[in-house]
């Protein structure tokens, strides 16, 4: 049997491509060696955001004047709920794939040549191949038995002392969540600041919140070794030793490009990633690579986007990626979200002047619009509760070439944090109402 497309990996990249190709009537084979939904649905985006929701709910309820703060958390019971929720999501994805005729094979896909692969004993022939094998956490020699994202998200108890090696978005998101759940958290970061990918102005409120939560941040510090005998001892290069009940190692992720016969295709690489053109095509015209394996940013919505473009091209359309309006989100408290790029004008509206933020007892942050000399929106940033939900309006403006005035003249519902986006847009060409 010859398939129009074989897809290795069923994360946001692989399963989205399978559904799209199925919708176009193509004969699709989707191969997964672990769980449908990949890292994102099972061990990444979804469980981490569930944990963050839990931590925020408990934290804000406890901190609300008049609330009775004495309630307990049974993390074990919560984990059972979490896996039920994830199973609901992943079985929904599986059902959807099957409803579009996608054939799912469980096992490790091994590429044989540019038109054949095998899973266990069976060989499959394909017209096109999509490599969507994702990424894995970077490990460090000499740091024994730490937790990675999968294990920390599956803890059955809140650790009393948690050391996090790596101050990127995963470390800071989870560090803040565990601090709210009661852990004494220390983050060790090799560089001189945390969250290095984001504008320092946007990170400042996060540093303030981390301080309020007593999270220790040790920047310009490297971990020399980690030993475990009962408790963990984390030795820093400056000789300091941190004691911990759990240690999370999260110093980046590397694309999965080995162990499945990729080398047989002799594809051009781009550093550790598979090199693709704007059609998501590799150096072989019938082989595509999407998601984490195909380059930065390693984000689920980038994988979904790549998947659509690759599928369109397999179906004969001429589709190219354009990451100009890519949203980036850090799910801290407040959330940080940004998109596009800065230009000649930048506005800044404080969330302290927003009614809805006040009702949430959460006013740390600001909303920014970036515009060119003609007032066309080139980007923006939101540091506020639900920034992750608000950034799409700014991405849409960038994508569509809208003027700041288009946002400013749009009626936004009251009371919402989204009014902050309107007010920041108004600041580009006039005055906001509430500042």
Residue 39 found at the interface with ligand FAD (CB under 6 A): yes
Which residues are registered as beta bridge partners of 233?
Answer: 227, 243
Region of 78 please: left (phi>0), alpha (psi -120 to 50) or beta: alpha
Report in angstroms how near the CB of residue 314 gets to ligand FAD at its nearest.
Answer: 16
Q: Which is nearer to ligand FAD, 10 or 347 (CB)?
A: 10
Question: Which structure tokens are listed for 59?
Answer: 């934290």
- Taking CB under 6 A as the binding criterion, the range among 40-48, 271-279, 341-349, 404-412 that sits at the site for ligand FAD is 40-48
Asked if 414 is an active-site residue, the reply is: yes
Residue 299 found at the interface with ligand FAD (CB under 6 A): yes
- Taking CB under 6 A as the binding criterion, the range among 6-14, 93-101, 271-279, 352-360 that sits at the site for ligand FAD is 6-14
Residue 199 found at the interface with ligand FAD (CB under 6 A): no
Report in angstroms how near the CB of residue 44 gets to ligand FAD at its nearest.
Answer: 3
Long-range contacts of 229-233 (CB under 8 A, 24+ apart): 232/146, 232/163
Report in angstroms how near the CB of residue 260 gets to ligand FAD at its nearest.
Answer: 3
- Residue 235 CA: distances (Å) to CA of 163, 215, 244, 338: 11, 18, 11, 35
- List the x/- string, 315-344, binding to ligand FAD by CB under 6 A: ----------------x-------------
Question: Which structure tokens are listed for 348?
Answer: 């800044």
Q: Which of residues 92-131 bind ligand FAD (CB under 6 A)?
A: 108-109
Which of 28, 102, 134, 404 contacts ligand FAD by CB under 6 A?
A: 134
Q: How far apart are the first and last CA of the chain?
A: 66
Q: Which is nearer to ligand FAD, 30 or 403 (CB)?
A: 30
Which residues are registered as beta bridge partners of 384?
Answer: 335
Q: Which is nearer to ligand FAD, 232 or 305 (CB)?
A: 305
d(CA 303, CA 129): 16
Inter-helix orientation angle 12-23/75-99, to 10°: 30
Which residues are registered as beta bridge partners of 147?
Answer: 248
DSSP character string of 95-147: HHHHHTTPEEEES-EEEEETTEEEETTEEEEEEEEEE---EEE---TTB-S-B
Residue 395 found at the interface with ligand FAD (CB under 6 A): no
Report in angstroms how near the CB of residue 152 gets to ligand FAD at its nearest.
Answer: 8
- Taking CB under 6 A as the binding criterion, the range among 73-81, 85-93, 288-296, 373-381 that sits at the site for ligand FAD is 288-296
181 phi, psi to nearest 5 deg? -85, -5
- Taking CB under 6 A as the binding criterion, the range among 296-304, 378-386, 412-420, 421-429 that sits at the site for ligand FAD is 296-304
Q: In 293-386, which ranges are continuous DSSP H helix?
A: 300-314, 355-359
Question: Which structure tokens are listed for 209?
Answer: 């919140």
Among residues 369, 361, 355, the alpha carbon closest in space to that of 406 is found at 369
- Taking CB under 6 A as the binding criterion, the range among 286-294, 311-319, 351-359, 415-423 that sits at the site for ligand FAD is 286-294
Which of 5, 9, 171, 421 contacts ligand FAD by CB under 6 A?
A: 9
Report in angstroms how near the CB of residue 290 gets to ligand FAD at its nearest.
Answer: 7
Residue 282 found at the interface with ligand FAD (CB under 6 A): no
The helix or strand, by DSSP H or E, that contains position 40, with its residue range, turns out to be helix 38-43
∠ CA 174-335-66, rounded to 5°: 85
Question: Which structure tokens are listed for 60?
Answer: 């804000």
Q: Which is nearer to ligand FAD, 287 or 300 (CB)?
A: 300
Q: Which of residues 144-183 bind ligand FAD (CB under 6 A)?
A: 149, 170
Quote the strand ranges of 271-407, DSSP E: 273-274, 287-289, 328-330, 335-340, 345-346, 349-350, 366-371, 377-384
d(CA 259, CA 299): 23
Q: Which of residues 17-36 bind ligand FAD (CB under 6 A)?
A: 31-34
Which of 6, 7, 21, 38 contacts ligand FAD by CB under 6 A?
A: 38
Of 59, 301, 414, 434, which one is the catalytic site residue? 414
- Just list the catalytic residues: 414
The contact set with ligand FAD (CB under 6 A) reads 8-14, 31-34, 38-40, 44-45, 48-49, 108-109, 132-135, 149, 170, 256, 260, 291-293, 298-301, 303, 331
């Amino acid at each position: 049997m010859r398939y129009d497309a074989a897809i290795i990996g069923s994360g946001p990249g692989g399963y989205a491509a399978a559904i799209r190709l199925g919708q176009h009537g193509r004969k699709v084979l989707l191969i997964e060696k672990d769980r449908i939904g990949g890292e994102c649905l099972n061990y990444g985006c979804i469980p981490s955001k569930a944990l963050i929701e839990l931590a925020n709910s408990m934290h804000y309820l406890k901190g609300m004047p008049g609330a009775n703060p004495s309630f307990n958390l049974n993390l074990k019971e919560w984990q059972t709920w979490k896996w039920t929720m994830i199973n609901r999501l992943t079985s929904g994805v599986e059902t959807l794939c099957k409803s579009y005729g996608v054939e799912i094979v469980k096992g490790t896909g091994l590429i044989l040549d540019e038109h054949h692969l095998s899973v266990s004993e069976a060989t499959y022939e394909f017209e096109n191949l999509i490599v969507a094998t994702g990424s894995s956490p970077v490990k460090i020699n000499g740091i024994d038995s730490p937790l990675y994202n999968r294990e920390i998200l599956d803890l059955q108890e809140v650790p009393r002392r948690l050391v996090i090696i790596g101050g990127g978005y995963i470390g800071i998101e989870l560090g803040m969540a565990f601090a709210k759940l009661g852990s004494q958290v220390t983050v060790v970061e090799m560089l001189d600041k945390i969250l290095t990918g984001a504008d320092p102005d946007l990170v400042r409120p996060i540093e303030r919140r981390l301080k309020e939560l007593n999270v220790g941040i040790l920047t310009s510090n490297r971990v020399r070794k980690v030993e475990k005998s009962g408790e963990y001892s984390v030795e820093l290069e400056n000789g300091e030793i941190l004691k911990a009940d759990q240690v999370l190692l999260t110093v980046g992720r590397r694309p999965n490009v080995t162990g499945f016969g990729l080398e047989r295709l002799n594809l051009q690489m781009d550093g550790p990633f598979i090199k693709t053109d704007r059609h998501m095509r590799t150096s072989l015209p019938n082989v595509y690579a999407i998601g984490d394996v195909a380059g930065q940013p390693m984000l689920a919505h980038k994988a979904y986007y790549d998947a659509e473009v690759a599928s369109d091209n397999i179906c004969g359309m001429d589709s190219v990626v354009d990451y100009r309006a890519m949203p980036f989100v850090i799910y801290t408290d407040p959330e940080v979200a940004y998109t596009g790029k800065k230009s000649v004008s930048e506005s800044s509206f404080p969330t302290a002047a927003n009614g809805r933020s006040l009702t949430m007892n959460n006013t740390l942050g600001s909303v920014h619009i970036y515009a060119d000399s003609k007032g066309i929106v080139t980007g923006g940033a939101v540091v506020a509760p639900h920034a992750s939900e608000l950034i799409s309006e700014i991405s849409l403006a960038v994508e569509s070439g809208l003027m700041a005035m288009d946002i400013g003249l749009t009626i936004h519902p009251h009371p919402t944090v989204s009014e902050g986006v309107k007010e920041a847009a108004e600041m580009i060409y006039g005055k906001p109402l509430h500042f």
